[in-house]
């Protein structure tokens, strides 16, 4: 058994997400009844789209990373907990004792929940199971108990399915991507914070009327409000903040202009890569719906994907770029903070993207929610850094020179791992039982209310269709 798990883990590590995803999609499409040719074309298209998305993200990560390093250097701040970035966190997670088990455990949880009709999400984003392993590895670091770590990984896998189902309809409507959900814990964990803050902002005079969305900016400013120009403007602003003292005027101009045009390219190219992804995903989604309807009537099956499909929206990118300097300021002014941000500033789009449907693309509110989430995250990171560092050393990760402890925005800043880890740390096996009961209760509440929500949504859709028909008749 150990040899089989080791082989599976080694294969997944070697393939990486951009190769693994098309293979998983092809196998699932064939099982769901899609024709071989259609399944193959869909899988290849999805693989190409993810490569395109990753290339554009790499461009953005490089640009924002250089900006972030320059801003941090300019501030002169020193901290003893260093942000090593999500790739390091993923390597630590898969290199841990839990990482060996997380793939079969995550798949088993998904299958059981589908058979029990507790979820509609088929999570094909297998590579990102590292998030579950990461939380489990920190539990092992806290308790020295592998069974606890595996159990926690299973609970977090279940929780990600709940978040995916809960946000699916809003994601599909806002982003225009039918038949999908996002079981990405790093993105979904912001939803409860966003709901509370959105409710509060709706009740603050003046604030409740502020609506700065990319659509309203484009309507007001025309060509100067288009996403590509908005990316250019935000890039130039960030470039000036970061590189104003980079040397001679021509060097400063080159760096500032390069940042501006790079982020303009990101604003233009990311949505187009997502459209290619949707082209490949639609046949798989159609096959999934046909498969389910033949066996269970009108039940819906959602394809769970990486939240990379969400961050191409101009609101997600714009709010994230604004949050980069805000995050650095927070690292300076928050009392008791020992974390210096470095590698993971560029992943802020993943943290805030899922708030866009809830906040209707209001960049102002997305920035407010993102700021509060990051502020909470700094204290979570300070608290979890010892366990993060312990898990890293146990998995053979070499600490950066001069770093006493390490963290990352993904997943070291997230409140969900903190709550889960503390529950097990304080209560042991009782904490695991309590967490399982809480997740089960949340699923029960969700399923109890889903029928009512869907009836209301269906009625709303019918009303919209009637309005459209009346409009068409009037126009005719």
Share of the chain above pLDDT 70, in %: 87
Q: Is the pLDDT of residue 376 over 90?
A: yes
pLDDT for position 325: 86
Average pLDDT over residues 164-174: 90
Residues 256-282, mean pLDDT to the nearest whole number: 82
Which of 30-34, 254-258, 264-268 shows the highest mean pLDDT? Answer: 254-258
Q: How confident is the model at residue 456 (pLDDT cuts 50, 70, 90)?
A: very low
**pLDDT band for position 221 (cuts 50, 70, 90):** low
pLDDT in tens, 175-217: 887 788 999 888 999 999 999 999 999 999 988 888 888 777 7
Is the pLDDT higher at 312 or at 321?
321
> Looking at per-residue confidence, does 105 or 273 come out higher?
105
- The stretch 48-59 carries a mean pLDDT of 82
Q: What is the pLDDT of residue 158?
A: 95
- Average pLDDT (226-237) is 83
What pLDDT is attached to residue 164? Answer: 93
Cβ atoms within 10 Å, residue 183: 32
Higher pLDDT, residue 465 or 20: 20
pLDDT average, residue stretch 237-244: 86
Residue 328 has pLDDT above 60, yes or no: yes
pLDDT value for 464: 42
The band of 274, judged by pLDDT with boundaries at 50, 70 and 90, is: confident
Of 377, 401, 308, 324, the residue nearest 84 (C-alpha): 401
Residue 74 has pLDDT above 60, yes or no: yes
Bigger pLDDT: 257 vs 71: 257
- Comparison of pLDDT for 432 and 78, the residue scoring more: 432
Position 17 pLDDT exceeds 80: no
pLDDT for 12: 65
Rounded distance, CA 351 to CA 307, Å? 9
What's the pLDDT band for 453 if we cut at 50, 70, 90?
very low
Mean pLDDT rounded to a whole number for the chain: 83
Would the pTM of this model clear 0.85, i.e. be above it?
no
Higher-confidence position of 32 and 451: 32
Q: Is the pLDDT of residue 455 over 60?
A: no
pLDDT category, 355, cuts 50, 70, 90?
very high
In this predicted structure, what is the pLDDT of residue 347? 84
What is the per-residue pLDDT for 469? 54
- Average pLDDT, integer, range 298-302: 77
């Amino acid at each position: 058994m150990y040899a089989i798990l080791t082989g599976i883990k080694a294969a997944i590590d070697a393939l990486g997400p951009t190769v693994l995803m098309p293979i998983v999609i092809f196998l699932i499409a064939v099982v769901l009844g899609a024709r071989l040719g259609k399944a193959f074309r869909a899988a290849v298209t999805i693989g190409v789209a993810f490569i395109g998305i990753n290339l554009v993200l790499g461009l953005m990560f490089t640009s924002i990373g250089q900006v972030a390093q320059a801003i941090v250097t300019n501030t002169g701040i020193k901290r003893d907990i260093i942000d090593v970035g999500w790739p390091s966190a993923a390597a630590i997670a898969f290199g841990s004792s839990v990482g060996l088990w997380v793939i079969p455990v995550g798949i088993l949880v998904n299958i059981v929940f589908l058979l029990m009709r507790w979820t509609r999400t088929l999570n094909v984003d297998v590579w990102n199971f590292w998030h579950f392993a990461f939380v489990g590895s920190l539990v092992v670091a806290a308790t020295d108990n592998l069974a606890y770590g595996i159990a926690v990984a299973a609970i977090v896998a279940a929780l990600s399915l709940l978040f995916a189902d809960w946000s699916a309809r809003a994601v599909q409507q806002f982003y225009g991507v039918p038949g999908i959900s996002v079981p990405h814990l790093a993105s979904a964990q912001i939803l409860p914070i966003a709901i509370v803050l959105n409710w509060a902002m709706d009740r603050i005079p003046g604030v409740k009327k502020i609506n700065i969305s990319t659509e309203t900016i484009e309507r007001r400013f025309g060509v100067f409000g288009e996403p590509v120009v908005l990316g250019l403007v935000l890039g130039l602003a960030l470039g000036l903040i970061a590189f104003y003292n980079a040397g001679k005027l021509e060097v400063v101009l080159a760096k500032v202009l390069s940042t501006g045009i790079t982020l303009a390219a990101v604003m233009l190219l990311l949505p187009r890569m997502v459209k290619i992804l949707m082209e490949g995903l639609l046949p798989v989604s159609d096959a999934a719906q046909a498969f389910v309807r033949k066996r269970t009537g009108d039940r819906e099956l959602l394809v769970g994907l990486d939240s990379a499909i969400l961050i191409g929206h101009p609101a997600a990118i714009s709010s994230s770029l604004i949050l980069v300097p805000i995050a650095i300021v927070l690292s300076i002014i928050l009392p008791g903070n020992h974390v210096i941000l470095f590698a993971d500033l560029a992943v802020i789009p993943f943290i805030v993207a899922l708030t866009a449907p809830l906040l209707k693309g209001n960049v102002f509110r997305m920035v407010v929610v993102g700021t509060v989430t990051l502020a909470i995250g700094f204290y979570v990171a300070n608290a979890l850094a010892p366990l993060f560092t312990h898990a890293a050393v146990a998995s053979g990760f070499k600490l950066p020179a001069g770093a006493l402890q390490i963290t990352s925005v993904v997943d070291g800043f997230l409140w969900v791992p903190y709550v889960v880890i503390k529950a097990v740390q304080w209560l042991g096996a009782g904490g695991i039982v309590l967490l399982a009961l809480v997740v089960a209760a949340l699923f029960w509440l969700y399923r109890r209310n889903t029928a009512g929500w869907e009836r209301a949504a269906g009625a709303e859709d019918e009303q919209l269709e009637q309005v459209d028909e009346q409009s068409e008749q009037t126009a005719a």
